[in-house]
Amino acid sequence: MIPGFKSYEEFSRYTKRPLVTVWREFKRGYCKWPLPARNCCTHPLRQTWLNMVNRCTNPKAANYKRYGGRGIGISAEWYTDFWQFVKDVGPRPEGMSLDRIDNNKGYSKENCRWATARTQNHNRHTNTSHINIRILKNGFKARLYVVGRLHETPLTPVFEQAVEDLHQLKQLYSEFL
The count of C-alpha atoms lying within 13 angstroms of the C-alpha of 4, restricted to the half-sphere facing its C-beta, is 21
Q: Give the pLDDT score at 28.
A: 65
Three-class secondary structure of residue 110 per DSSP? helix
For 23-67, the DSSP string reads: HHHHHHT---SSPPGGGGGGSTTHHHHHHHHHHHH-TTSTTGGGT
Quick check: 44 and 91 in contact, CB under 8 A? yes
* Pairwise CA distance, residues 136 & 112, whole Å: 44
pLDDT for the residue numbered 136: 84
Determine the pLDDT at residue 75: 92
Measured CA to CA, the distance from residue 85 to residue 43 in angstroms comes to: 12
- Tens of pLDDT along the chain (177 residues)? 566 667 778 777 777 778 887 777 777 665 555 554 455 567 889 889 989 999 998 889 898 998 999 899 999 999 888 888 999 999 999 999 998 888 888 999 999 999 888 777 766 655 556 677 888 888 888 888 776 677 888 999 998 998 898 888 888 877 766
Task: Give strand pairing partners of 6.
Answer: none
